[in-house]
Amino acid sequence: MRNLILFILLPFGTFAQLSGKVVSQETQMALPDVIISNDQTAEVVFSGPDGEFSISNLKREKAILVFRQLGKVEKTVSVLPEDFDSSLLIELKDDNQKLETVVVKAKADNDFGKTHLKAIEGTSIYESKKSEVILLKDISANLSTNNARQVYAKITGLNIWESDGAGLQLGIGGRGLSPNRTANFNTRQNGYDISADALGYPENYYTPPTEALQKIEVIRGASSLQYGTQFGGMLNFVFKKGAADKKVELTSRQTAGSWKFLGSFNSLGGTVGKLNYYTFYQHKQGEGWRPNSGFEQDNFYVDLTYQFSEAFKTEFNYTHSNYTAQQPGGLTDALFAQNPRQSVRARNWFDVNWNLAALTFDWKLSSKTRLNSRTFVLDAGRAAVGNLERINVADFGGNRTLIAGKFENIGNETRLLSRYNLGKQYGAFLIGTRYYQGNTSARQGEASDGDDADFSLLNPEYPENSDFRFPNTNMSVFAENIFNLSDRFSITPGLRFEVIQTRSEGYYRQRIFDFAGNLISDKRQDERLERNRSFLITGIGSSFRPSEESEIYANVSQNYRAINFSDLRIVNPNFSVDPDIQDEKGFTADLGFRGRKGDFLSYDLTLFYVAYNGRIGQVLQADQPPLYLDYRFRTNVADARNIGVEAFAEMDFLKWKRAKSLSSFSWYINGAYVNARYINTEETSIAGKQVEMVPPVMLRTGLSYKNGGFSSSLQWNYISKHFTDATNAIRTSTAVEGVIPSYQVMDLSAKYNWKYLTLEGSINNLLNEMYFTRRAEAYPGPGIIPSDGRGFYLTLEIRL
């Protein structure tokens, strides 16, 4: 560790920074998506939803900035060195004679639909960190179904689970972490938590609709210092804002697709005086690729932002999401080989009801200091009813099992960021606090013997299996500082102090049945547990820019992941959890090289190391009487280490030959290799084995073409064979454990814009590959969960 830190302290660096805001000269309203170029670098940036911009790759000498937007007069501004530490106010005036070809060229100067975060954005520091940003307006993908395989195609090192074809739930994991409901990412929207319980049960049952998003931010490694204790990083969904130059803008998107899929997305937004508003309603329904897999979903969102003054604004948003889906259950290996589309479960249902609210205050205390405070509340629940028995056991009817969870959380995160002079350079200091109070209740018992979506317990006062509350409290303080020691070199140390209290209180019952279904043992156990811990985690990073268009960065950060108490008392014949399970500890380290060459080449190469102490995993056991059937046992199986490389490159062949080409024809390749092994264990069955849920090779590549209003993309995905438990079992009778065979999938998407109309189409799984990405031990299984076959989708959008 000491040698790694010394390596990071090598003389790396960064440039000076300019920031400001662009407004309309006539109305003084903020102008988003203004194209800003400068004479020092080839980099082009865009103003944000509130008109603000920041350029970080500038030498501290006179700079020439050019501001362009369709319908506005192009403006050139000279900035002197003494102006670098102040905030610029740029006014653009109307020009109705502006040629549309100007904006077409400007849009060609984008980042292929993917970019990375600047060193400082708002009140967050991203210097020397691995960050990737998906720009939704610049990609051609099936947004109506939240198709993760297409949306995240250019994000390196992601293993993607496909549990349904409508995008109801997102399952992604990176660098050898399980994709299960994206639980290993700190998942947020607009900067605040959206998971069931960020500390005690960080699973995500709600996925923001990509049709409503402006961008998706993915930050890895050292992000644990700013965004909480986790190994995976931070995933942030940023919603669109209302049009800054219109009082009313209406967007309506209607989609039809295979298996009676219907989607309707309708949004309204604009700016009235100092108020910016944006709201949408989305409805989706369909029957699904397999029998017994119909669904209905409704999403509603409203965002209100009021600019009290140039220095102070407040924002309120509220989200409601609800869906009910029938789940066709899993399959055994033999059933999958026979017919992947079949279903042997007709009585399994899942229901989610999610309500989120957030209130944010943002103060510009001075041109160098900014304070942001956001308070967020979650009131949500999920319920699953059905037959949890092993998939190789037929469903002969009888009472079903109901698992219901209720999540009531409140939290606040407050950040202060201040820039300051450091000799001829500038520095930036961030300090923040977080308070989080979560209260999860989990109940499990018998439900009706019918086949409908009845989510009620037969015995609501005393459920037959378990009834628990899991209250927890988390308080933390974190800080980071950018030290710019030269125009090219920076060091960014950080730390985070955590106080965590987790409790569980309730009872569970152990009931054992014989082969004939007779109850032969029934024991009730009351339980009350409490765990308190406090600790400090630290990290340090550095950045060196050998040229104006490239950067070398490195960082190392300690990590800590608390156990999930709510996992301990779910009664399931397919798996069991060690009551003495302990928190995970370790660190992550990155060494990366990223940049671009003009407008025709973008690249990103990262080496990473993830170390776990007491990694939580699953081993196969068969020691429970009287049947002694195999089951998954979840415990701290061993120490583990993941070593890997992530690589991305994209080249635009037309711009390579003609720099000013208005068209684009690009090819990208996104690959990752991960060597994940268990080490330091006396358990011979897992010593040296591969860590589960880790494909050693992930390769994604594709072609994109853009010309005027037309764009299209062809994508190909390959995921290599990997295992689902720590013993690396090849196959079991229950199909809960076993290999995930290698698979490859191809997708085709296209869209055409004409004035206020857009037509989009996609063919998912173009070659109709029969494959699966996961084996589930509970819902939506148990067993193999087949992915959808070839599907067709068509969307018509009207914008007024």
pLDDT digits (tens, 9 = 90+) for 147-167: 999 999 999 999 999 988 889
Strands 124-125 and 120-121: antiparallel
Nearest to 92 by CA among 47, 60, 145: 47
Average pLDDT value for residue range 82-96: 79
Cα torsion 454, 459, 463, 468: sign? positive
Beta-bridge partner residues of 611:
587, 641
pLDDT of residue 98: 38
pLDDT of residue 622: 59
pLDDT of residue 621: 63
Beta-bridge partner residues of 439:
408, 471
Please give the full DSSP string across 119-142, using - where no structure is assigned: SEETTEE-TTS-EEEEEGGG--S-
Residue 333 · residue 731 · CB < 8 Å: yes
Average pLDDT value for residue range 12-38: 78
Q: Which residue has the tokens 């008109």?
A: 51
pLDDT digits (tens, 9 = 90+) for 657-707: 776 777 889 999 999 999 999 998 877 888 889 999 999 999 999 999 999
pLDDT digits (tens, 9 = 90+) for 515-530: 666 777 777 888 888 8
Helix (H, G, I), strand (E, B) or coil at 225: helix
Q: Where are the domains of the chain?
A: 2-109, 249-799
The set of residues, in sequence order, having a beta carbon less than 8 Å from that of 450 and lying 6+ positions away, is: 347
**pLDDT of 602 higher than 90:** yes
Strand residue runs (E) in 708-742: 710-719, 722-723, 739-740
The model's pTM is: 0.86
pLDDT of residue 13: 40
In angstroms and rounded to an integer, the radius of gyration of the C-alpha atoms of the chain is 26
Q: What is the four-CA torsion angle of 313, 120, 240, 133, rounded to 10 degrees?
A: -170
pLDDT digits (tens, 9 = 90+) for 410-438: 999 999 999 888 777 888 999 999 999 99
Which pLDDT band holds residue 84 (cuts at 50, 70, 90)?
confident
pLDDT of residue 97: 45
Residue 100, H or E segment: helix 100-108
CA 414 from chain centre, in angstroms, equals: 22
Helix (H, G, I), strand (E, B) or coil at 737: coil
Average pLDDT, the chain: 87
Q: What percent of the chain has pLDDT over 90?
A: 58
- Structure-token pair, residue 798: 């009207």
Superfamily name and number for 2-109: Carboxypeptidase-like, regulatory domain (2.60.40.1120)
Residue 41 · residue 14 · CB < 8 Å: no
CA 271 – CA 273 distance, rounded (Å): 6
The DSSP call for residue 689 is P
pLDDT digits (tens, 9 = 90+) for 172-211: 999 989 899 998 899 999 999 999 998 888 899 999 999 9
Q: What is the CATH code of the structural domain delimited by 249-799?
A: 2.40.170.20
pLDDT digits (tens, 9 = 90+) for 701-730: 999 999 988 999 999 999 999 999 888 999
Beta-bridge partner residues of 259:
none
Residue 723 · residue 774 · CB < 8 Å: no
CA separation (Å) from 398 to 329, 349, 404, 783?
A: 17, 15, 19, 21
Average pLDDT value for residue range 63-85: 82
Residue 222 · residue 337 · CB < 8 Å: no
CA 479 from chain centre, in angstroms, equals: 23
pLDDT digits (tens, 9 = 90+) for 542-563: 999 998 889 999 999 999 888 7
pLDDT of residue 196: 92
Strands 739-740 and 550-561: unpaired
Q: Cis omega (within 30 of 0) on the bond before 81? A: no
Least confident residue range of 21-25, 358-362, 648-652: 21-25
Least confident residue range of 306-310, 574-578, 615-619, 789-793: 574-578
- Structure-token pair, residue 528: 């009350």
